[in-house]
Each structure stands twice: as structure tokens, then as C-alpha cells.
Amino acid sequence: MSFEEFVAARGAVLLRFSVMLTGDRHRAEDLVQVVLARVYGQRWKRIAAMERPEAYLKRMLVNEHLRWWRRRSSRETSTAQPQDLAPVQPDSQDAHAAREAAWELLGRLPSRQRAVLVLRYYEDLSDVQIAEVLGCRPVTVRSQATRALATLRAVLPAIDREALP
């Protein structure tokens, strides 16, 4: 499969994955563009010959995202809603509020913990597969997921108290 055919067929999937990692559509587009620019040309021939080229590119997306996150000078957190993940049918205000709350919670997590949760719950990967993508051991994946979920659980009671009149 040529590079152009792959991007046409799987580019939207890579973008959605990137949006889940970054929480911001514009950063996600930049992230995908940087990774695809790196693999274009001679490098693509080697990647296309792999058994799972999409998995390799997702790993590159995660690594580049973590690299960007480490270089950020500020700790700003985006709570932008990715429009391409919105359901097709209209939803209630409660569902919209729940989605916004979920994005806010994910935005509070460190980048690596967020990546673990995205890979586990959005991509439905096992700990071993996540470890392959992140370049670490499965025990590290489990500890990052445990910390991320503990952070989310600790934040939820405070949010519930804020919601009370």
C-alpha cells in the first residue's frame, strides 16, 4: 500500500487517536502531520512492509506527544471538545455535560497516564500491547493506570461538592 493510500484509508483513525491523546483537535492535527512527515518517503517503504504499520504509527504519535508535553513551557490544559468525536444523533444536555466533564478530568492527568487510559479504554489494548506502544513494561502500564484512576477518583468527590447548590 502506498503512503497516500494508507493516509486516505487510515488518516482519520490516526487523527481521532491523536485527539484522544491531546484533548485538542488543533494539536492533534499538528501531531499527526509531524509524524506523517517523518515517515513519508524512504522510511515509509520499511514501515509499510511491517505486519502492523498502523500500530507503529500510533506508537510514534504517543512518543511524539510525550516529547511535546515534556517540552511545554507552561502547564496549560485544553478543555476543547473534539468535534469529530461527537455522536451523530442529537444528545441531551446531560450527555453533553458528562462528555465535557470527562474531557476536563482527562485534561488533569499527566500525559503518560492519559496515554495509558486512552490506549486501554479507547483503543481497547491489553497491558502488554500498551507496553509495546509506550516502550515500557506491562507493570509500568498497570501502575500508570492505577495512578490515573486514583487521581480521577480523588477529583470526582470535589467536583460533586462543587455541583451542589
Q: Give the domain ranges of the chain.
A: 1-72, 93-165
Q: Quick one: fold of 93-165? A: Arc Repressor Mutant, subunit A (1.10.10)
How do residues 79-96 score in pLDDT, each as one tens digit?
555 444 444 454 566 666
pLDDT for the residue 158:
62
pLDDT for the residue 139:
95
Per-position b or e across 13-34, b if 16+ CB within 10 A of its CB: ebbbbbbbbbbbbebbeebbee
Query: Taking the model in full, what pTM does it have?
Result: 0.62
CA dist 11 and 148 (Å) reads 28
Q: What is the CATH number of domain 1-72?
A: 1.10.1740
Check: CB of residue 131 under 8 Å from CB of residue 138: yes
How do residues 108-148 score in pLDDT, each as one tens digit?
888 889 889 888 888 888 999 999 888 889 999 999 999 99
